[in-house]
Amino acid sequence: MAAQRRTAFFLPEINNNNKGRRKSTLHRLKDSLQTGSIPDKSAQTFSRKEIALLRNSLKQNICVEMLQEGYHRSFSELFFLLHSDQDRRAAAEPGSALRLQTPLEEQQGKLETMRLHLSQAEQAERIGSWSVVCEQRLILGQYFSAPEDLWLSFHFYHSCADREEGGCCRPAVEARACLADLYLQQGDLEQARQKAELCFNQVDDGAWQDSDGWSLRVRVRHTLWRIYSRLSDAPLAAGDYNEALELLHKGYSMAAESEDKQIEGEANYQLGLAYQASGDHDAAKKFFSTSMQICGTRQDADGLGKAYKAMAKSLESEGNIDGTVRLLEELTDISRSNGLQYNLVDACLCLGNIFFTMGQYKRASESFLQGYEVACHVGDVALLQKAQALVASARAHALIGGYSADVAAATPTALQRLLAWKETRRCQELNTDSTDRTVTAWY
Amino acid sequence: MISGATCSVVALASPKGTDTFCELCQRRAHVQCSRCQVTFYCDAEHQRADWVGIHERICQLLVPLRSPTLFSSQHPDCIETQIKKVRMSMELIEICKSVAQSKFSEGKYQEALPAAQFCLRCSMDVHGPSTAQLVPAYLLLAEANMGLGNLDLVTQLLSQAEWVVLKSPECGHTIHHQLHKSLGLLHMATGNLEAALFHFANNIYFASEEYGPDSPVTCGGYFLMANIFARQGKMSIARSLYSEVAQTWHCLLTKRLETHSQKANEPDFLFSQRAEVEEMLRTMLEFEQNASRKDSAQVALVAHCLAMLWFLEGDSAKVSHITKSPSINFTLTQ
């Protein structure tokens, strides 16, 4: 028979030809896979499996091993993911970041991890232990934390959170919390809110901890506060204060019970701001002062600065200028003593602005100058230039005021002063030191 | 049954130096087919076997392929005739494949042998020895011998096929898929279950690459693997695989049923693998019914598949039989 005739010369060639060519690759593979268990004797003749490991792609080896162990669902999931990775990359623009990434099927660590946890999940699925299934999937979701693997993270969290069986076990609830965080990061606030609220309802009556040992309840409150606060941005910008306030109050109640003082202070501040925007300064002041208190006890100078400024603004809009000035001076002191340069500049400029609007140009220019000096010290050019312009404008206003008063008065003393100024102005261009003296001559 | 007409070879009638050999066993020929006069046999026995196996289909097709050697040298455009010949050979290969497949599905392995052999010979003539195109022919031959229980021969054939595949990296997924399936079946027959698992796993991998992980082809691989796990006593894995297979076929048959009611009497793609599918479903049903912990949902699913399959064939007696079967009725009502 035709087939038989050739057997004699086909078979020996397999061995002869293969050995020399494959050996070096096998040694490399041996090192990488650390298959130290192979005894030296069998290094001469490789088993079918070892040859397959050498010849075939990483993807094929992993898939085949999974199938051999009977994990067919894990196989089809992994297969699906690898193909979606290919599709994603094929759909990407040539030369884009996605194209330049290493394909998933070439990253051994990731493939091995997926194989391990998917197999364990499938094993647990067969015996109906759903919480283990969810836990394994949660681990995978957390494993893919790199930005380029975000889609995998989403996939595994969803596969954990959206399953019918075991949807209320701790890992599934934690997966929802993680999803809420991810969606929040991505800016998909509605999805984030939905996941977080679901998670919040389920976590409410349990003392569960997440994988890092945090209380899940605190964590989800934290997330919810951030979601509500971000959600309120849009209605606030559109002037729909009722809705914004409703959202912020929800967030506030989350923050208040989260045992985290920082976000509680922040929540108070945000609510205050919303009230301030809506024109309800009393309520705003109440929240600002709570925020100031919390920040004071927490030694959070940054938060304190923000709260002070907001409070001062509220007082100013109410017409309580003295209060505003007092508050801002207090803020300047606090900032100076804490060494918070930016806050100090801010406070000084605010104070200057208030004096400026009141027409007290000299005091305004003093405040601005103070701010300017601190800004010089900080070395922030943009801030420095802003302060510079403000100083100049305040001084100019001061100068014009005196000058026009003298011109209008037309008394001998006034004329004298004008003449003296006129005389000194020439040298003023040459000698900048004289500027201050001339200006002070008016007051 | 007419098994072709025979006449004895008259050695003097053929040109000097041409020896004629039996189509099946390559021994010196004594008789020839009187219809085409280009096919020779050692005895009437082989002639009959070849006639039943493949020759009846291709008898007249062989005439232009084998006889015109005398004229071709005189023909001005010799290359064109060569091309024509190659094209005819390719056609013949396809015919042989389909004939062999249909013989397999009828369980007539002995009768499939001539077709498979001719397929291999023809492939060698067209593509040369040890080329990737020979693999399907080797696999056909192996499958026929497997059915006949000639495991040694199967081993030889498959190692040849494997060697060819090794040497031709351009082999497609389909060839790998088929080769691993055959190798798996061989190991399963020799009782080497681990090796069989390895090959079936590869079979599934390549089938998934070629047809997608949900296709019925891949599903066939799952079924084979499940059988091994069942033999190894790993019932939970086997059950999980069977349920995957049942679900895939259920989906497929349901879709089929919907289109069937729209346009009746369409040629059915299931028909070629019908026997195989029915066998598969029956095995699964039996497995589930014999299991200690019965999964009635699975039983119902498989029974529904079978019923749909028979309905699509128009075999209403079997459909009513299965729906009235007490054990299935029991599980369905549960």
Q: In what order do the strands lie in the sheet with B31-33?
A: B6-8, B31-33, B40-41
Chain B residues near residue A61 by CB distance under 8 angstroms: none
Place of tokens 């075939």: A56
Contact A265, A223 (CB under 8 A): no
State the helix-helix crossing angle for A361-378 and A381-409, rounded to 10 degrees: 160
pTM beyond 0.90: the answer is: no
Domain boundary residue, one of A32, A56, A90: A90
Residue A158 forms part of a structural domain:
no
Nearest to B241 among A3, A49, A72 (CB): A72
pLDDT category, B329, cuts 50, 70, 90?
Answer: low
For range A388-417, the mean pLDDT: 80
Phi, psi of B97 (to 5 degrees): -60, -45
Phi, psi of B8 (to 5 degrees): -80, 155
Q: What is the DSSP string of A89-125?
A: HHHSPTTSHHHHSPPGGG-HHHHHHHHHHHHHHHHHH
pLDDT (tens digit per residue) in B264-299: 554 455 556 777 788 888 888 888 877 777 777 888
Residue A170 forms part of a structural domain:
no
Nearest to B198 among A2, A68, A80 (CB): A68
Nearest to A79 among B157, B195, B213 (CB): B213
Query: What confidence score (pLDDT) does residue A92 get?
Result: 82
Buried residues in B35-61 as b, exposed as e (16+ CB within 10 A): bbebbbbbeeebbbbbbbbbbeebbee
Nearest to B160 among A6, A79, A80 (CB): A6
pLDDT (tens digit per residue) in B33-66: 888 878 888 888 888 888 888 888 888 777 777 7
Q: List the structure tokens of A73.
A: 């669902």
Separation of alpha carbons A81 and B261, rounded Å: 36
Range of the domain at A50: 1-90
A283 has pLDDT over 60: yes
% of residues, chain A, pLDDT over 70: 84
Separation of alpha carbons B140 and B133, rounded Å: 12
Q: List the structure tokens of A275.
A: 């009230």
A19 has pLDDT over 50: no
Q: Enter the DSSP assignment of B7.
A: E
Contact A70 B237 (CB under 8 A): yes
CA-based nearest distance A301→chain B, Å: 60
Domain boundary residue, one of A64, A90, A116: A90
Contact A79 B208 (CB under 8 A): yes
Residue A339 forms part of a structural domain:
no
pLDDT (tens digit per residue) in B301-313: 888 888 888 887 7
pLDDT category, A12, cuts 50, 70, 90?
Answer: very low
Kindly report the number of other CB atoms within 10 A of residue B289's CB atom.
15
Kindly report the number of other CB atoms within 10 A of residue A162's CB atom.
12
Residue A443, Cα to own-chain centre: how many angstroms? 52
Query: For residue B183, what are the contacts with CB-CB under 8 A and spacing of at least 6?
Result: B158, B162, B195, B199
Chain A residues near residue B198 by CB distance under 8 angstroms: 48-49, 52, 64, 68
Q: Chain B residues with CB-CB distance to A under 8 A?
A: 25-26, 117, 120-121, 124, 129-130, 138, 141, 153, 156-157, 159-160, 163, 166, 195, 197-198, 200-202, 204-205, 208, 213-214, 222, 225, 229, 234, 236-237, 240-241, 244
Contact A130, A175 (CB under 8 A): no
pLDDT category, A80, cuts 50, 70, 90?
Answer: very high
Separation of alpha carbons A415 and B80, rounded Å: 120
pLDDT (tens digit per residue) in B62-119: 777 776 555 545 556 677 777 888 888 888 888 888 888 888 877 788 888 888 888 8
For B23, which residue in chain A has the nearest alpha carbon? A1
Query: What confidence score (pLDDT) does residue A133 get?
Result: 86
Cα within 13 Å of Cα(A84), Cβ side: 9
Averaged pLDDT of chain B: 80
For range B202-215, the mean pLDDT: 88
Residue A269, Cα to own-chain centre: how many angstroms? 19
Buried residues in A98-110 as b, exposed as e (16+ CB within 10 A): eeeeeebbebeeb
Extended beta strands in A5-129, E state: none
Query: What confidence score (pLDDT) does residue A1 get?
Result: 41
Residue A341 forms part of a structural domain:
no
Cα within 13 Å of Cα(A314), Cβ side: 26
Query: For residue B157, what are the contacts with CB-CB under 8 A and spacing of at least 6?
Result: A3, B138, B141, B142, B145
Residue A1 forms part of a structural domain:
yes
Helix (H) or strand (E) run with residue B41 in it: strand B40-41
B173 has pLDDT over 70: yes
Separation of alpha carbons B63 and B115, rounded Å: 17
Residue A376 forms part of a structural domain:
yes
pLDDT category, A116, cuts 50, 70, 90?
Answer: very high
In one-letter notation, the amino acid at residue B329 is N
Q: How many domains does chain A have?
A: 2
Q: List the structure tokens of A304.
A: 């304190």
A270 has pLDDT over 50: yes
Averaged pLDDT of chain A: 76
Buried residues in B152-188 as b, exposed as e (16+ CB within 10 A): ebbbbbbbbbbbbbeeeeebeebbbbbbbbbbbbbbb
Domain boundary residue, one of A47, A74, A90: A90
For range A204-218, the mean pLDDT: 72
Query: What confidence score (pLDDT) does residue A397 get?
Result: 80
Separation of alpha carbons B197 and A425, rounded Å: 101
Q: List the structure tokens of A398.
A: 């001061």
Residue A44 forms part of a structural domain:
yes
Helix (H) or strand (E) run with residue B33 in it: strand B31-33
Residue B312, Cα to own-chain centre: how many angstroms? 23
Q: Chain A residues with CB-CB distance to B under 8 A?
A: 1-4, 6-7, 10-11, 13-14, 48-49, 52, 60, 63-68, 70, 72-73, 75-76, 79-80, 126-127
Separation of alpha carbons B286 and B154, rounded Å: 30
Long-range contacts of A212-219 (CB under 8 A, 24+ apart): A216/A170, A216/A173, A216/A174, A216/A177, A218/A258, A218/A259, A218/A260, A219/A177
pLDDT (tens digit per residue) in A328-345: 777 777 777 777 777 777
Burial (CB count <10 Å: 0-12, 13-18, 19+), residue A357: exposed
Higher pLDDT, A442 or A121: A121
